[in-house]
């Protein structure tokens, strides 16, 4: 098991996703953030079923950075309840994991 995680974050637009990604990288809260567009999400919110276009961010970071990353995303995000989900990286290419370590130090 490693000390690294993937964090999934959805955003309302590419512009919002880029703002969040840029802050996470500049503040060393993530080593890399992928932005994946062309996504639709269907969800229940305040008693209504909605379908909206969104963008998915996948941040690569260390588990010890998660609380700070979560706080920063909530500060920058337009959603009242943003999706911020962390999944453990169980294994990976050692040189890539070392790069994450270096870039989030």
Residue 84's pLDDT is 98
Domain that holds residue 56: 4-103
Residue 73's pLDDT is 98
Q: Tens-digit pLDDT profile for the chain (105 aa)?
A: 579 999 999 999 999 999 999 999 999 999 999 999 999 999 999 999 999 999 999 999 999 999 999 999 999 999 999 999 999 999 999 999 999 999 999
Residue 1's pLDDT is 55
CA distance from start to end of the chain: 20
Q: How many domains does the chain contain in total?
A: 1
Alpha carbon distance 46, 57 (integer Å): 24
Residue 2's pLDDT is 72
- Find the CATH number of the domain harbouring 64: 3.30.70.120
In 3D space, the residue among 101, 24, 102, 10 whose CA is nearest the CA of residue 62 turns out to be 101
CB-side neighbour CA atoms (13 Å) of 100: 21
CB-side neighbour CA atoms (13 Å) of 34: 8
Beta 84-88 vs 4-11: how paired, if at all? Answer: antiparallel
For residue 18, the SS3 value is helix
Residue 41's pLDDT is 95
């Amino acid at each position: 098991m490693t000390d690294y995680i993937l964090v999934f974050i959805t955003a309302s637009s590419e512009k919002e996703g880029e703002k969040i990604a840029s802050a996470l990288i500049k503040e060393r809260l993530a080593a890399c953030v992928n932005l994946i567009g062309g996504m639709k999400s269907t969800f229940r919110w305040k008693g209504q079923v909605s379908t909206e276009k969104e963008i998915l961010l996948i941040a690569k970071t260390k588990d010890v950075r998660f609380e700070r990353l979560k706080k920063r995303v909530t500060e920058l995000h337009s959603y009242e309840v943003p999706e911020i989900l962390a999944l453990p990286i169980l294994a990976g290419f050692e040189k890539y994991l070392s790069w994450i370590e270096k870039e989030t130090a």
